[in-house]
Amino acid sequence: MNAPLRRVGVVVIVLFGLLFANLNRIQAYKADEYRTSDYNGRVQVAKYDRKRGNIEAGGTAVAVSKETDGELKYLRSYPGDAKYAHVLGYEPVNGAATGLERSENDFLAGTSDQLIVNRLRDMVTGDRTAGGNVLLTLSGRAQDTAYDELRNNKRGASKGAAIAVDPRTGAVQALVSMPSFDPNTLASHDTGEASAEYNKLEQDAGRPLRNRALAEVLPPGSTFKIVVAAAALENGIGKDTNIPAGASYTPPTSGEAITNAVPSICPQSQVTLMKAVTDSCNTGFAKLGVQLGPDVIKEKARQFGFEQEDLTVGRLGEGGHAVEASRTGTMENPEGGADPAALAQSSIGQRDVRMTPLEGAMIAAAVANNGSQMRPYLVRQLLAPDRTTVYDTADPRELRRPISGQVAADLRDMMVSVVENGTGRNARISGYTVGGKTGTAQSAPDRADHGWFIGFALDSGGNPISAVCVVLEEAGSGGSAEAARIAGQIMRAAIAEPGGR
């Protein structure tokens, strides 16, 4: 009997030991996680006991907290409804916040170390420390224009995105994704209503919760020719150098011919690089890409920002919205050598090339800014509850320098020619120099083409004011022309009201 009892006793002691160890693990290592969990009801009540700070754009509060008579004392509200949804995200009662509401949560909630002086002062006065205020770089006028133009585009496209940045600083002037959503319903204190609305949005085939400006990667079509043109300029080809062209080109190893959008585009055997960009000559760029080779094309794309995994847009260099990496895809055959067919298609922005709208805007911004690509950011200033400055983004940072000043100047000339003489005429702005590149990208055999435009606006002194990218998904014929028109309207609005830097 003694042996079995001893075994049972040992088992009980071991179980008590494990229980004691787990209890200590929870108290020592998991306490903060459980205490701050979004699903902890007591935490929720405490969180809503403090007024959350405003998020402001263009001098207007676009996220505020309103006092209520309920157990949760403040209701998060978004006066702009769907217009700023993909910038702000939302702050739900149940679940985790998204967007800037998440990345700036500690400051907005008043729990940030940056507000410790305010909390110490309020301990003396007995006040409840309110959250701090986040001021954005957005231009209210540019944001309004981007939202209205995308929603009412003349091609009837229901999906798309637009983003504009200040090329000199990287400050985001506008960011809109379509379709959008109303974050007010997701922040409702009626958790059943909020949950039902979230499930509805999640199941929507249009994916309205997706931030297309930063996270959607699509074939960029002819906008990618700017990257290929930059590689050519760095490899002995000038803007006035003749390159092979023609009405049709069938790459070696491929039975599929590459043609131009219409027969009147570069039917001659040779055209200048300037003419190839202006008229968007597919055959010229397909042959040029094969001539340059995959290593040159992929390296130049990488220098512009393709394949970059860790970019975020929020506070300058300190988190925010995650950005999906743009990709060049495979241009080699299984043996590792160049695949001419894949390379030719990739050089006109098809095949496996994928780009975010942000990357398109950053390419245009680097060209406009003499080859310097600035780090994009959305948060320009943090203010304490008493409106004193806690953080100021007065020192913009260069992200990379993909091209020299001379290459940038040549690309500017070619992109200006696109707007003045080529496919981008809809982007023209009276009194300003506008450059750009249109793109039409095949999506799938059973779907209409995407329409793209990337571009920039310069003042009379040649100083860059705005760089923009607009994409209209499945817009079909005329989609790139409509994207150019919308881009021109957004840049015009940014000129009138540049936004915060």
For the segment 186-222, what is each residue's pLDDT rounded down to a tens digit? 999 999 999 999 999 999 999 999 999 999 999 999 9
3-state SS assignment for residue 54: coil
For residue 15, how many other CB atoms are within 10 A of its CB? 10
The residue behind tokens 């920039």 is: 456
Name the more confident of 391 and 483: 483
Predicted confidence (pLDDT) at residue 125 exceeds the cutoff of 90? no
Name the more confident of 443 and 320: 320
What pLDDT is attached to residue 252? Answer: 86
Rounded Cα–Cα distance for residues 374 and 8 (Å): 69
Give the mean pLDDT of 111-123: 71
Predicted confidence (pLDDT) at residue 81 exceeds the cutoff of 60? yes
Residue among 82, 77, 92 nearest 181 (CA): 82
Predicted confidence (pLDDT) at residue 127 exceeds the cutoff of 90? no
Give the mean pLDDT of 85-104: 95
Where does the pLDDT of residue 391 fall: very low under 50, low under 70, confident under 90, or very high at 90 and above? confident
Would you call 222 a catalytic residue per the annotation? Answer: yes
Give the mean pLDDT of 423-429: 97
Give the mean pLDDT of 289-305: 97
- The widest CA-to-CA distance across the chain, in whole angstroms, is 102
What Å distances lie between residue 330 and 133, 454, 460, CA to CA?
A: 45, 24, 42
3-state SS assignment for residue 313: strand
Where does the pLDDT of residue 307 fall: very low under 50, low under 70, confident under 90, or very high at 90 and above? very high
Predicted confidence (pLDDT) at residue 5 exceeds the cutoff of 80? no
Tell me the whole-structure pTM to 2 decimals: 0.90
Query: 248: which 2 tokens?
Result: 């049709």
**Which amino acid is located at 482 in the chain?**
E
Where does the pLDDT of residue 123 fall: very low under 50, low under 70, confident under 90, or very high at 90 and above? low
What pLDDT is attached to residue 253? Answer: 78
Give the mean pLDDT of 27-32: 58
Selected catalytic residue, list 112, 222, 466, 480: 222
pLDDT in tens, 460-472: 999 999 999 999 9
- Dihedral of CA 321/474/437/281: which sign? positive
Average predicted confidence (pLDDT) for the chain: 91
What pLDDT is attached to residue 186? Answer: 96
Backbone dihedral angles phi then psi of residue 310, each to the nearest 5 degrees:
-115, 20
Give the mean pLDDT of 397-404: 97
What pLDDT is attached to residue 499? Answer: 79
With 0-12 / 13-18 / 19 or more C-beta atoms within 10 angstroms meaning exposed / middle / buried, residue 140 is buried
Between CA 300 and CA 305, with CA 301 as vertex, the angle to 5 degrees is 115
What pLDDT is attached to residue 261? Answer: 93
- Dihedral of CA 479/321/499/76: which sign? positive
Residue among 366, 421, 361, 432 nearest 399 (CA): 366
Give the mean pLDDT of 82-106: 95
Give the mean pLDDT of 106-128: 74
Q: Which helix (H) or strand (E) holds 416?
A: helix 405-421
Give the mean pLDDT of 48-76: 93
Q: Which residues of 96-119 are buried (b: 16+ CB within 10 A; e: fewer)?
A: ebbbbbbbbbebbbbbbeebeebe
- Dihedral of CA 414/417/419/425: which sign? negative
The answer to which of 62-71, 285-294, 312-321, 367-376 has the lowest mean pLDDT is: 312-321
